């Protein structure tokens, strides 16, 4: 085996290209779902997987986030410093994207301000504060997935789960739980067990469409994925990577994701190892420079769904490649603008002048 002499984040952050890849995979997955209304032409589904590229990518985001945010907490000078960084990483870009959806995308999608623009902005601000998706009735009539929470930007549903994980890692951190890595592993395992065993009807009691809009199993699964990443961070000095074991993990993962009962847990364990292997071997290479200084992945993720809606509405085609490629190109531009004009300045303020800007999600 290869020793962990260049673990992710120790020599050079090699997660940037993975975040960008996962954001692109979300578009690859959402394109057939928005065009067709189902996953019948989704690439990973067509290969026999019970996971789509979108769900796989979101899982990857949470594993990476768990790793990075755990490091952020442990390296923060205070709890206030930690939450300042987290708030300024998530909220500014989210707020601007939400208002863009309401004030620009919604009218282009056929929406009307029946109760007035300022009333709609006021309601949007409330949604922004709780990181809820922007809502606008009567938009993109005739398209698929038009419930009031998904019409404008269905992809934003994961952000509430993300910030919940930030709060949980802080609560565990201040009580000393992060000094016990095995305890964090047990939490992750317990959460995956809850998602697998507890009936949907029971889990639904913990979820509200306004706060946790995914399937009931999403809450324990997402938090479990985050704590999987946290576990990798806490055990990072003891983890070894090998091309042989990465190959074995990849083959096993291909098998596990074919079945609903094993897909999630298979990705949680094997996918996590593959993600950190990919970051490990990219550390110090040209891959580590991709999406490094200018991290467009968050903005790309926020804007891809509404852009794809508009592409379907105005392009005059249902060709998946045309719509998907067009969405990726335009969302990348929006992601760059979001990072340059909103995210980077917000992070510079949060870190104060002279400090290194963090690219953590």
pLDDT tens column, 273-332: 999 999 999 988 889 899 988 999 999 999 999 999 999 999 999 999 999 999 999 999
84-88, 92-96, 197-201, 296-300, range with the lowest pLDDT? 197-201
Q: How far apart are CA 244 and CA 255, in angstroms?
A: 17
Instruction: Flag whether the pTM goes above 0.85.
Output: yes
Predicted confidence (pLDDT) at residue 37 exceeds the cutoff of 70? yes
Q: How far apart are CA 248 and CA 235, in angstroms?
A: 21
Q: Report which of residues 166 and 351 the model is more confident about.
A: 166
pLDDT band per the 50, 70, 90 thresholds, residue 9: very low
* 8 Å CB contact between 195 and 224: yes
pLDDT tens column, 228-245: 999 999 999 888 899 999
Q: What is the pLDDT of residue 117?
A: 87
Predicted confidence (pLDDT) at residue 3 exceeds the cutoff of 50? no
What is the rounded average pLDDT for all residues in the chain? 89
Q: How far apart are CA 241 and CA 243, in angstroms?
A: 7
Predicted confidence (pLDDT) at residue 268 exceeds the cutoff of 50? yes
Q: What is the pLDDT of residue 11?
A: 42
pLDDT tens column, 137-148: 889 999 998 887
């Amino acid at each position: 085996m290869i020793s962990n002499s260049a673990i992710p984040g120790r020599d050079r952050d090699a997660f940037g290209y993975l975040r960008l890849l996962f954001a692109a995979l979300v578009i690859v997955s959402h394109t057939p779902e928005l065009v067709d209304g189902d996953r019948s032409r989704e690439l990973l589904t067509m290969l026999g997987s019970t996971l789509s590229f979108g769900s796989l990518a979101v899982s990857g985001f949470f594993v990476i986030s768990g790793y990075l945010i755990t490091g952020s907490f442990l390296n923060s000078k205070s709890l206030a410093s930690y939450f300042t960084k987290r708030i300024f990483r998530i909220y500014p870009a989210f707020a601007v994207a939400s208002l863009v959806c309401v004030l620009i995308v919604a009218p282009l999608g056929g929406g009307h301000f029946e109760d007035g623009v300022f009333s709609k902005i006021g309601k949007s601000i409330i949604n922004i504060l709780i990181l809820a998706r922007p809502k606008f009735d009567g938009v993109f009539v005739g398209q698929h997935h038009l419930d009031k929470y998904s019409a404008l930007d269905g992809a934003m549903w994961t952000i509430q789960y993300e910030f919940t994980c930030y709060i949980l890692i802080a609560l565990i951190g201040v009580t000393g739980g992060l000094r016990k890595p095995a305890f964090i592993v047990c939490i992750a395992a317990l959460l995956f067990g809850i998602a697998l065993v507890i009936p949907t009807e029971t889990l639904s009691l913990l979820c509200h469409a306004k706060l946790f809009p995914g399937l009931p199993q999403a809450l324990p699964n997402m938090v479990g994925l985050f704590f999987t990443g946290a576990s990798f961070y806490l055990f990072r000095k003891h983890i070894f990577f090998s091309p042989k074991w990465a190959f074995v993990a990849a083959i096993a993962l291909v098998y596990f994701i074919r079945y609903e009962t094993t897909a999630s847990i298979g990705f949680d364990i094997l996918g996590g190892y593959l993600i950190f292997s990919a970051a490990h071997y990219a550390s110090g290479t040209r891959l580590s420079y991709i999406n490094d200084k200018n991290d467009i992945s968050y903005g790309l993720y926020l804007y891809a769904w509404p852009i794809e809606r508009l592409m379907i509405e105005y392009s005059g085609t249902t060709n998946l490649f045309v719509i998907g490629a067009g969405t990726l190109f335009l969302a990348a531009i929006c992601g760059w603008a979001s990072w340059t004009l909103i995210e980077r300045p917000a992070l510079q303020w949060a870190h104060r002048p002279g400090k290194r800007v963090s690219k953590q999600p």
